[in-house]
């Protein structure tokens, strides 16, 4: 049982709250608010706060690859390649329908062909057995943990899965006419924005103070405030980094479903209107959907059977908790003078290929 569970609930909804705001919400003093926050940090219930940028807001598209790899040696080799490649944003080992890696890159549209060329070459070199580039439609949803459905005393979730799944039948099968619009502000990015993006996507134990950034980048606090406001409005969202295992053991899984347009749209609309209370990311594909989930083990079977019923085929993958890595924004990718990405064939294909040829395969 967590003695500061109410604070954890509050931070999940307001991850960037300062101690005064926490104090007001919990009706305690600022000093007590800080002490409670420090308790969550020191006991490793949370790891702090991290920003996640929206790729489309800065002229990038997420490219997801599922790689089947022949052995652990090649898994480790591609993991090292992910470290080398400038545009890697996420990777994790997967087990299930295939054994290998899920790896993501955020790249400008004109560079996607170079990334595809790289994986074709890796397959020719027998480093990769096979791969699938996920055919995304660029329409995504995310859900966050809602601890109001979690009983901290019994460590049980009280969310009604059965009631939620029954809503599917009567959910509309057409997507909303007005999907959330993302504004591309790449041409408005300044050098300070790039520096700030790098820092806030690294994450920190405490919410960033403008004065610290001002000193580090030799600018005024007012300049920092203005640019952070700009980034917060158009480019980033924030999340508290909480330790899932400290709350309850979870499965980190991925469902790759193939189904009709009608059924995938119904599922999107269901999640949109009735979000599930877990950390998940849902993405519409040309032939179905991709749904990454951090869910309690008891719900893994429930979701598996539910999705099996509505899909012609469901591929199920398990992620390796210990080998998951989320990368922060790499400022050297962006030329702030021309306001263009450094994502030519050289950066996307030639340099990574030269690197891997230099490794012992």
Q: At what angle are helices 221-234 and 210-217 packed, to 10 degrees? A: 110
For residues 167 and 157, the model is more confident at 167
Mean pLDDT of 130-153: 88
> What's the rounded mean pLDDT across residues 194-204?
91
Q: How far apart are CA 22 and CA 14, in angstroms?
A: 9
Give the confidence band of 6 by pLDDT, cuts at 50, 70, 90.
Answer: confident
Mean pLDDT of the chain: 91
At residue 358, the pLDDT reads 86
Q: Which run of H or E residues covers position 298?
A: helix 297-310
- pLDDT exceeds 90 at position 130: yes
Q: Where are the beta strands (DSSP E) in 85-217?
A: 88-96, 100-107, 130-133, 136-143, 150-151, 156-157
Q: What is the pLDDT of residue 250?
A: 81
Q: What is the pLDDT of residue 48?
A: 84
Instruction: Read off the pLDDT of residues 319-342 as tens digits, 9 standing for 90 and up.
Output: 998 898 999 999 999 998 899 999
More confident of the two residues 208 and 355: 355
What percent of the chain stands above pLDDT 90? 70
Q: What pLDDT score does 317 carry?
A: 95
- Of 69-73, 148-152, 187-191, 199-203, which gets the smallest average pLDDT? 148-152
What gap in Å lies between CA 333 and CA 347, rounded to an integer? 9
% of the chain surpassing 70 pLDDT: 96
Question: Averaged over 165-176, what is the pLDDT?
Answer: 95
pLDDT at site 142: 92
The answer to whether residues 43 and 73 touch, using CB atoms and an 8 Å cutoff, is no
Find all residues with CB under 8 Å of 56, minimum gap 6, and list them.
138, 182, 184
The candidate with the shortest Cα–Cα distance to 64, out of 145, 144, 175, 140, is: 140
Angstrom CA distances, 299 to 95, 204, 252, 302, 324, stand at 19, 31, 11, 5, 21
CA atoms of 307 and 291, how far apart (whole Å): 10
pLDDT tens, residue by residue, 77-120 = 999 999 999 999 999 999 988 899 999 999 999 999 999 999 99
Residue owning tokens 């800080």: 34
Predicted confidence (pLDDT) per residue in 29-50, tens digit: 999 999 998 988 888 888 888 9
Element (H, E) at 202: helix 191-202
* CA-based end-to-end distance of the chain: 49
pLDDT in tens, 264-317: 999 999 999 999 999 999 999 999 999 999 998 889 999 999 999 999 999 999
> What is the total residue count of the chain?
361
φ, ψ of residue 155 in degrees (nearest 5): 55, 40
pLDDT tens per residue, range 208-260: 677 888 999 999 999 999 999 999 999 999 988 877 666 667 889 999 999 99
């Amino acid at each position: 049982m967590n003695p500061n569970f109410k604070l954890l609930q509050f931070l999940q909804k307001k991850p960037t709250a300062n101690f005064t705001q926490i104090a007001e919400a919990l009706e305690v003093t600022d000093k007590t608010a800080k002490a409670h926050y420090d308790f969550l940090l020191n006991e490793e219930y949370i790891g702090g706060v991290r920003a996640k940028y929206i790729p489309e807001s800065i002229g990038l598209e997420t490219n997801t690859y599922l790689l089947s790899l022949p052995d652990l040696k090649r898994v480790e080799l591609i993991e090292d390649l992910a470290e080398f490649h400038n545009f890697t944003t996420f990777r994790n080992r997967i087990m299930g329908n295939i054994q290998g890696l899920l790896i993501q890159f955020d790249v400008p549209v004109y560079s996607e062909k170079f990334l595809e060329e790289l994986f074709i070459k890796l397959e020719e070199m027998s480093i990769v057995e096979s791969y699938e580039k996920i055919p995304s439609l660029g329409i995504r949803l995310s859900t966050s943990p809602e601890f109001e459905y979690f009983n901290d005393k019994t460590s049980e979730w009280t969310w009604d899965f059965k009631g939620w799944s029954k809503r599917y039948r009567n959910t509309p099968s057409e997507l909303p006419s007005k999907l959330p619009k993302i504004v591309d502000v790449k041409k408005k990015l300044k050098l300070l924005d790039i520096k700030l993006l790098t820092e806030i996507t690294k994450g920190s134990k405490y919410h960033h103070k403008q004065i610290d950034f001002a000193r580090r980048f030799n600018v005024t606090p007012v300049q920092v405030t203005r640019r952070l406001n700009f980034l917060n409005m158009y480019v980033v969202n924030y999340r508290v980094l909480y330790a899932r295992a400290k709350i309850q053991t979870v499965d980190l899984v991925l469902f790759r479903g193939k189904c009709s347009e009608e059924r995938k749209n119904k599922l999107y609309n269901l999640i949109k209107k009735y979000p599930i209370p877990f950390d998940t990311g849902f993405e519409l594909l040309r032939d179905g959907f991709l749904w990454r989930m951090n869910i309690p083990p008891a719900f893994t079977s429930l979701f598996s059977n539910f999705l099996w019923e509505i899909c012609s085929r469901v591929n199920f993958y398990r992620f390796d908790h210990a080998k998951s890595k989320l990368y922060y924004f790499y400022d050297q990718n962006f030329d702030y003078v021309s306001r263009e990405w450094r994502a030519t064939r050289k950066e996307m294909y030639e340099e990574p290929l030269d690197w891997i040829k230099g490794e012992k395969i």
